[in-house]
A = this chain, B = another copy of it.
Amino acid sequence: MSVLNGEKMTNSTKQVNVAEECDGKCGSCSTSDDCNDHRKQQYEQEQKLKLRLSKIKHKIAVISGKGGVGKSTVTANLAMAFVMQGHRDKVGVLDADIHGPCIPKMLGLKGQTLIGGPGGMLFPVTGKLGIKVVSMDFVLPNDEAPVIWRGPLKMRAIQQFLSDVTWGELDYLFIDLPPGTGDESLSVMQLIPDMDGVVIVTMPSEVSQAVVKKAVTFAKQMNVPIIGIVENMSGFVCPDCGAKVDIFRTGGGKKIAEDLTVPYLGSIPIDPNICTDSDNGLPFIAENKTSPATKAFMEIVEKIQQFLENTETARSKEIKNENMCKCNSK
């Protein structure tokens, strides 16, 4: 049953040809082939999801407490940064903002649609930037169409975006989540248990700070590593006279990171080009290679890479130790 094909979800489930003692473990069931119980569908969906995710080396979610802090801009530019460093066609972006998907516009993919294949398979959209993208925007008939969905449908859509999409072998998958700690965020964290970590984006204003704390607690409660906090829209330098104006204040991101003892990744200054580039479908780091915003962003990327390398080293050590234990116990 597909949400994306417009079919309705229902709580009723059919149970046909199922022995009372079914334990839902279809892999070891002798009558699995003839079974059409809902638990088999669920089992197959889970297996598909596991298989897809096993081919993706690193999964990073970009979250925030408050909306409009530049989460999608950070996601789009993170993806671009890794492409520019040699991972072309090996970077994916899952736009998990069901109600307000912005990634296609920011990556120059407006107007594209998600093409389906046999068996409910879906192909991600890949533009000239070499980034594989999946977004609700590719499913909607036009910009005006709102997605007036409650939680369960959104959860289902995100699940399909992960398990039915042929992401292929990826080095990095970035997931752009809508603000808040509701259905979408919960679903993504539950569907991807081996998430490398989350990047938390905030603005320097105190109002944003109050809300970003919730995002930090959310990640901790979900047992997802926090890669660090990024402060966006930090200060503004007048292009005419060079005066520095703190439109949304400055330094709040660093303060909150210190207060909550989580890593601080850096701050990105306000730059009108960022907005223009986003509107034109071009990540600003590719368009304005020498701007202070790009410089600041690339320093953030470096820290994220460092985090991922450390995680990889730790994982390799773990595997080595496990193997050694096995050898010793023989």
A-side interface residues toward B, CB under 8 Å? 65-69, 72, 97-100, 102, 105-106, 110, 143-152, 154-155, 178-183, 186, 203, 205-207, 210-211, 213-218, 221, 236, 238-241, 243, 245-249, 260, 270, 272, 275-276, 278-279
The 4 closest A-B pairs by CB, nearest first: A68-B68, A67-B67, A99-B180, A151-B151
Q: Provided the pairs A68-B66, A181-B148, A238-B241 are in contact, do residues A214 and B143 lie with their beta carbons within 8 angstroms? A: yes
The listed residue (B183, B205, B239) touching A151 by CB distance below 8 A is B183
Q: Is there an interface contact between B275 and A205, defined as CB atoms closer than 8 Å?
A: yes
Residues of chain B within 8 A (CB-CB) of A180 are 97-100, 178
Inter-subunit contact A182/B154 (CB<8 Å): yes
Q: Are A145 and B68 in contact (CB under 8 A)?
A: no
Q: Are A181 and B150 in contact (CB under 8 A)?
A: no
A105 lies within 8 A of B150 (CB) = no
Main secondary structure of the interface of A (DSSP, over half): loop
Distance in Å from the Cβ of A216 to the closest Cβ of chain B?
Answer: 7
A236 to B249, CA, bound (A): 15
Residue in B98, B205, B275 whose beta carbon sits within 8 Å of that of A279 in the complex: B205
Minimum CB–CB distance from A206 to chain B (whole Å) comes to 4
10 new A-B contacts at CB < 8 Å, known A65-B99, A249-B279 = A66-B68, A102-B210, A105-B207, A105-B210, A147-B181, A150-B152, A150-B182, A150-B183, A179-B179, A182-B182
B276 & A182 in contact (Cβ 8 Å cutoff): no
Closest to A222 in B: B148
Taking a contact as CB atoms under 8 Å apart, the answer to whether B243 and A241 are in contact is: yes
A102 touches B211 (CB 8 A): yes
Return the chain B residue nearest A280 by Cβ.
B206
**What chain B residues lie within 8 Å of A148 (beta carbons)?**
181-182, 186, 218, 221
Q: Contact: A210 with B275, CB < 8 Å?
A: no
Q: Which residues of B contact A155 (CB under 8 A)?
A: 150
What are 26 pairs between A and B in contact, CB < 8 Å? Answer: A65-B100, A65-B146, A66-B102, A68-B68, A68-B203, A97-B180, A99-B179, A99-B180, A100-B179, A100-B180, A102-B211, A105-B207, A106-B207, A143-B210, A143-B214, A144-B260, A145-B217, A146-B214, A146-B215, A147-B181, A148-B182, A148-B218, A149-B182, A205-B278, A238-B240, A241-B243
B213, A179: Cβ atoms under 8 Å?
no
Minimum C-beta distance from A173 to chain B (A): 22
Q: Once the chains bind, are B68 and A218 in contact (CB under 8 Å)? A: no
Which residue of B69, B146, B186, B215 is within 8 Å of A68 (Cβ)?
A: B69
Minimal beta-carbon separation of A155 from chain B (angstroms): 8
Alpha-carbon gap, A141 to B298, bound state (A): 38
In the bound complex, do residue B249 and residue A146 qualify as a contact, i.e. CB atoms below 8 Å apart? no
B238, A243: Cβ atoms closer than 8 Å = yes
Q: Quick check: A249 and B278 within 8 Å, CB to CB?
A: no
CB A244 to nearest CB in B, in angstroms, measures 9
**B240 engages A243 (CB within 8 Å):** yes
Q: In the complex, A153→B241 CA distance in Å?
A: 51
